[in-house]
Amino acid sequence: MGKGDQRSRRGKIHRGTYGARRPKPHKGASKPVAAAESAPRKASRKETAPAA
């Protein structure tokens, strides 16, 4: 059970393959582009800090 074992999770990671032991990451529902652009952007800490 290690990198050479094709059935183990570590072996799948080493080979770069997927299977029952290492399922592919599920992509969530994508957001519409218009909704992402219209969302207000929070000001970062650097922008809100007073200039000294």
Burial of 10: CB neighbours in 10 Å, binned 0-12, 13-18, 19+: middle
**Full-model pTM:** 0.45
Question: Which of residues 3 and 31 earns the better pLDDT score?
Answer: 3
Which tokens go with 28? 């969530």
For the CA atoms of 44, 47, 49, 52, the dihedral, rounded to the nearest 10 degrees, stands at 150
Question: Is the pLDDT at 48 greater than 90, yes or no?
Answer: no
